[in-house]
């Protein structure tokens, strides 16, 4: 009971940022013309839900009203898609904190604080407002949980590689690589690399390249897992086309940096994943591991649909955040793990059965061939003359030509003549072959 209570308090603490929104107000600057001196004249609205709107040139101003609290507060915006940001208090600029995973400002609430944000992508600004002590505690807790999360995934990747080396099944290899690319996306999006001094421009580039890795390794993994090359051999032409388009749009977006291109890129990746999920859905009743695959892949598919496609259109259906996505990721990894192990167990049973059947068939063929050889040899022996059969029987007894000539009362040359005829009629070349002929 005490453990359950602690877990409930932990979840309550993790989600407490929702309640902090009641202390924050916002104003949408449509033409991006307001300054720190003119914004104070505007009427701000209380934030009742997360700020999420389609891409525009507008800026969003956030107001944290003054209070009697003596403690320092931290306002944190949990996204890396911020183009420009500024914070002011009493007409003086507040500098952002360094070495933080996301944009963060520290201040005391003796005066109103105004924060200006805009993005060259969708206007999505999830934020937290907490006392400095609470914010730092939450940050340490999240980093610790991230450590457990990445450690867990790392172990799964290692186990998959070990299974690959043991069973020599490429499904384990491609699953490890696919999982690595998914894990890399989590790692890039949660801002961890900022703590190591990596700039957002490099992180955005790595995210872009990771779209290609996810597309490629998901294709290889699903192809091996569902054996699609045999089930749907022509499907690869469609997926290869989508893969080529994904690479092309990654290159175009790198040089163009257009929000619309970015939406198309995300839609193409989603279509590729959707294609594989629908293929598995068609094969749903084929076996149990395919059913598990459909369930696990659905978690990845629809959380990705909400986070990378709908959100870039200014829509959110499932209200996914970093915590929910990682929780779903763990569930998906566990389901995929069971699915792969079930598949391997079933394949091993099938291989064992096939080996037994092959051995049984091989023995049957061997017995049949022996009978056939014996019959043929019998027919060949019947073609020998009486004298040749007499000499052949002496050969089988291991007699030399001299001994045979003495026994049969003929010359050695006559023995050699008959031996040559025997070899020709029986299609052999030596006494050793004669001794090995099936009787």
Instruction: Dump pLDDT digits (tens) for 219-233.
Output: 999 999 888 988 899
pTM over 0.75: no
Q: Is the pLDDT of residue 195 over 50?
A: yes
Query: Does residue 284 sit in the same domain as residue 212?
Result: yes
Query: Does residue 194 sit in the same domain as residue 90?
Result: no
Residue 127 lies in a domain: yes
Residue 150 lies in a domain: no
- Give the number of residues written for the chain: 439
Query: Does residue 227 sit in the same domain as residue 306?
Result: yes
Q: Tokens 């763990």 identify what position?
A: 330
Residue 217 CB partners (closer than 8 Å, separation 6+): 174, 177, 178, 180, 181
Among 338, 353, 368, the domain boundary falls at 353
Residue 439 lies in a domain: yes
Residue 144 lies in a domain: no
Q: Are the C-beta atoms of 379 and 366 separated by less than 8 Å? A: no
Query: Does residue 228 sit in the same domain as residue 347?
Result: yes
Among 108, 132, 156, the domain boundary falls at 132
Q: How many percent of the chain have pLDDT more than 90?
A: 36
Residue 260 lies in a domain: yes
What CATH number is given to the structural domain containing 397?
A: 1.10.10.10
Instruction: Dump pLDDT digits (tens) for 40-92.
Output: 999 999 988 888 888 888 899 999 999 988 899 999 999 888 889 999 999 99
Among 317, 335, 353, the domain boundary falls at 353
Our measurement of the distance from residue 396's CA atom to the centroid of its chain's CA atoms, rounded to an integer in Å, reads 68
Query: Does residue 280 sit in the same domain as residue 226?
Result: yes
Instruction: Dump pLDDT digits (tens) for 259-315.
Output: 899 999 999 999 999 999 999 999 998 888 888 889 988 888 888 888 888 888 888
Query: Does residue 294 sit in the same domain as residue 423?
Result: no
Residue 145 lies in a domain: no
Residue 156 burial class via C-beta count within 10 angstroms: exposed 0-12, middle 13-18, buried 19 and up = buried
C-alpha 89/C-alpha 159 separation (Å) is: 53
Most confident of 8-22, 178-192, 241-255: 241-255
Query: Does residue 414 sit in the same domain as residue 300?
Result: no
Q: Tokens 């091996």 identify what position?
A: 224
Q: Is the pLDDT of residue 18 over 50?
A: no
Query: Does residue 225 sit in the same domain as residue 320?
Result: yes
139-152 mean pLDDT = 90
SS3 369: helix
DSSP character string of 241-263: HHHHHHHHHHHHHHHH--HHHHH
Query: Does residue 83 sit in the same domain as residue 122?
Result: yes
Query: Does residue 411 sit in the same domain as residue 307?
Result: no
Q: Mean pLDDT, the chain, as a whole number?
A: 82
What CATH number is given to the structural domain containing 86?
A: 2.60.40.2380
Please give the structure tokens belonging to residue 270.
């989603």
Residue 163 lies in a domain: no
Q: Are the C-beta atoms of 322 and 189 separated by less than 8 Å? A: yes
Per-residue model confidence (pLDDT) at position 11: 46
Q: Please give the residue range of the domain that contains residue 436.
A: 381-439
Per-residue model confidence (pLDDT) at position 340: 79
Residue 399 CB partners (closer than 8 Å, separation 6+): 407
Domain count, the chain: 3
Query: Does residue 118 sit in the same domain as residue 227?
Result: no
Query: Does residue 109 sit in the same domain as residue 187?
Result: no
- What angle separates helix 132-167 from helix 2-14, to the nearest 10 degrees? 110
Start-to-end Cα distance in the chain = 83
Residue 87 lies in a domain: yes
């Amino acid at each position: 009971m005490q453990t359950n209570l602690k877990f409930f308090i932990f979840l309550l603490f993790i989600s407490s940022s929702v309640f902090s929104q009641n202390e924050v107000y916002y104003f949408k600057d449509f033409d991006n013309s307001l300054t720190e001196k003119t914004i104070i004249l505007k009427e701000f609205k209380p934030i009742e839900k997360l700020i999420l709107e389609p891409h525009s040139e507008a800026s969003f101003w956030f107001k944290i009203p003054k209070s009697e609290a003596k403690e320092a507060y931290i306002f944190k915006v949990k996204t890396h898609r911020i183009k420009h940001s500024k914070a002011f208090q009493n007409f003086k600029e507040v500098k952002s904190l360094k070495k933080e995973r996301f944009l963060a400002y520290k201040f005391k609430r003796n005066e109103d604080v105004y924060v200006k944000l805009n993005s060259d992508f969708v206007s999505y600004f999830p934020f937290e407002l907490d006392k400095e002590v609470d914010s730092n505690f939450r940050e340490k807790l999240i980093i610790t949980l991230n450590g457990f999360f990445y450690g867990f995934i790392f172990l799964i990747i290692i186990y998959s590689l070990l299974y690959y080396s043991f069973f020599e099944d490429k499904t384990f290899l491609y699953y490890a690589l696919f999982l690595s690319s998914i894990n890399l996306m989590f790692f890039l999006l949660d801002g961890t690399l900022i703590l190591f001094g990596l700039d957002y421009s490099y992180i955005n580039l790595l995210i872009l390249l990771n779209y290609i890795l996810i597309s490629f390794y998901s294709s290889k993994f699903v192809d091996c897992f569902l054996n699609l090359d045999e089930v749907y051999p022509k499907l690869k032409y469609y997926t290869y086309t989508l893969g080529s388009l994904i690479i092309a749009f990654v290159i175009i977006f790198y040089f163009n940096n257009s929000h619309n291109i970015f939406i198309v890129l995300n839609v193409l990746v989603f279509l590729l994943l959707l294609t594989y999920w629908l293929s598995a859905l068609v094969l749903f009743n084929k076996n149990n591991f395919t059913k598990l695959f459909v369930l696990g892949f659905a978690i990845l598919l629809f959380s990705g649909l909400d986070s990378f496609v709908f959100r870039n259109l200014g829509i959110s259906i499932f209200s996914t955040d970093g915590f929910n996505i990682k929780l779903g990721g763990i569930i998906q990894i566990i389901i995929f793990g069971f699915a792969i192990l079930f598949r391997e167990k079933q394949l091993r049973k099938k291989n064992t059965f096939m080996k037994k059947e092959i051995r049984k068939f091989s023995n049957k063929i061997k017995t049949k061939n022996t009978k056939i050889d014996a019959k043929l040899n019998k027919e060949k022996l019947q073609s020998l003359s009486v004298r040749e059969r007499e000499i052949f029987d002496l050969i089988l007894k291991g007699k030399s030509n001299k001994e045979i000539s003495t026994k049969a009362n003929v010359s050695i040359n006559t023995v050699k003549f008959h031996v040559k005829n025997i070899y020709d009629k029986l299609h052999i070349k030596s006494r050793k072959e004669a001794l090995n002929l099936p009787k």
